[in-house]
Chain A
Amino acid sequence: MNFALRGVSKSFSSRRGRVSALSGVDLEVQDGEFLCILGPSGCGKSSLLNIMAGLDREYQGQALANGKLIAGPSAERLLLFQEPALFPWMNIAENVAFGLAARGLPRCERKPVVDRYLAMVHLEAFAHAHPHELSGGMRQRAALARALAVDPDLLLMDEPFAALDAQTRDMLHGELQEVWTTTGKTIVFVTHNVREALILGDRVLLMSARPGKIKKEFVFDLPRPRHFEDPGIAEAARVVLADLKAEVERARDEEVARVSASR
């Protein structure tokens, strides 16, 4: 499977007129890679994922899956959100089975799949619990299991750990690397956290502040599993951070300019 964006631009209207969110984004996702997209908040990272997921079709340019235009949402390209978005009216096992049921898989064939992925994220004991009974980290793991269960070709992750505390996030970084190594899924992971991008990604694309475009590509060959406090990560983070800082400052200056212009 091969995914690509060609000259993708996106703008939307706000109270202050048209805002350009993305401008001419080109990117290629290689089969089986763990790609991280790093950028300051508001740089259009989420828009990018929504376009790739097929949930947003109001853009210019081309979003391609295997050379064909992406026409709509599909379980082949699965988006994970910042919130777990588990369905509260179903228990965890039913949530994980949702995509399988949507595909029409008979009930008896869903169970082994559900069990396998619940075990992969260490939630076997919570199969019959309801989402509100789980902690934030457990919910996000359940959402991951729900996504993996439909066996997508591409897993799109939109800052899924941003709302979690540091310890939980560390743990999930470990689990996600493990999941990636065992399943060999293609993952595109969006974040504004430099270290997170470096821990998870083989390749890191730095996005510029609004309008978002790909500014720079970093490839670090660091041994896995990687941890937050690895010296290699810290070293690489210093390099990336210098570039990111410039973008954050540019975003801030533009914000200030816009606010003062509108006064």
Chain B
Amino acid sequence: MSRLLGKGLFFVGLLLVWHILAIAEIWPVWVFPGPLDVADSILSGCMDGSFVEGAGRSLGRIALGYGISLVIGLPLGLAVGRMRLLGDTVGTLSLGLQSLPSVCWLPLGLLWFGLNESAIMFVVVMGAIFSIILSTADGVRNTTPLYLKAGKTLGAHGLFLYTRVVLPAALPAIVSGMKLGWTFAWRSLMAGELLYVSGGLGQLLSMGRELNDMPRVMAVMLVIIMIGLTIDRLVFARLETRLRERWGLAGSGR
């Protein structure tokens, strides 16, 4: 309870400082808007539908791009974790490519796919897929040896052992990978949308800059944070907590 209070006070204080700095007019409004200007901008953006439409566009893209990453990344990760040859090749490659910020793929994407949806999709997939592959492979590879031994001594082998023991044992690691993948996908999408006319939240951001409309820029930033946070908290954090509880890992963290 007191932690919640502390959190609340911190953010109220932050808003207050921001507001005071803004009304002191140290910087002109179009450089440093106050919280009220930004709130106003969020409201009007929602009323005129531009935010809703932009967010819808972006969410549609992320659903598709992240979906593709999962469809390719999960099976590939399972295979990489299972087969040494794939681990040495695809695994090492993924490790290398993961260190490349995904927006660096954009020039290549534009060349290959042209100025269209596919180029953005390409960047999103490239941003998310490697962390999904790597975490999944790690999870499968590092199955607690005790569970494996227990499964084997109970007579399980082959596919049965894999689907009933190896996969569920790896599930917490796989979900962590999916969460990481989601974060990367969202960032990649925003970076991609910023760079050319695309109709998503990223484009609203660059439009705000071109119109010198700082309240709108900040408003869009807040919307992006909100969406990212909501999905992270509502989907992944819940899933992780449930898994940790069920897997008997709760309390061992933190």
Q: Which residues of A contact B (CB under 8 A)?
A: 53, 55, 73-75, 77-79, 81, 83, 85, 87-89, 98-99, 101-103, 130-132, 146-147, 150
Contact = CB atoms under 8 A, between A and B. Distances in A.
A89 B246 contact: yes
Given A79-B149, A87-B169, A132-B247, 4 more contacts: A53-B153, A73-B149, A89-B246, A102-B156
Given A88-B248, A89-B168, A89-B246, A99 B149 contact: no
A96 to B, nearest CB: 10
B150 A103 contact: no
B156 A98 contact: yes
A87 B165 contact: yes
B248 A99 contact: no
A78 B146 CA distance: 14
A212 B166 CA distance: 33
A53 B155 CA distance: 11
Contact of A85 (B149, B157, B160): B149
Nearest to A79: B153
Given A101-B164, A102-B160, A55 B149 contact: yes
B154 A102 contact: yes
Nearest to A50: B149
Contacts of B165: 87
A73 B153 contact: yes
Contacts of A74: 155
Nearest to A143: B150
Contacts of B149: 55, 73, 79, 81, 85
A88 B246 contact: yes
A75 B147 contact: no
Interface string B194-223: 000000000000000000000000000000
A132 B248 contact: yes
Given A81-B146, A89-B168, A98-B164, A130 B153 contact: no
B154 A75 contact: yes
> 3 smallest A-B Cβ distances: which pairs?
A75-B155, A132-B248, A85-B150
Contacts of B169: 87, 89
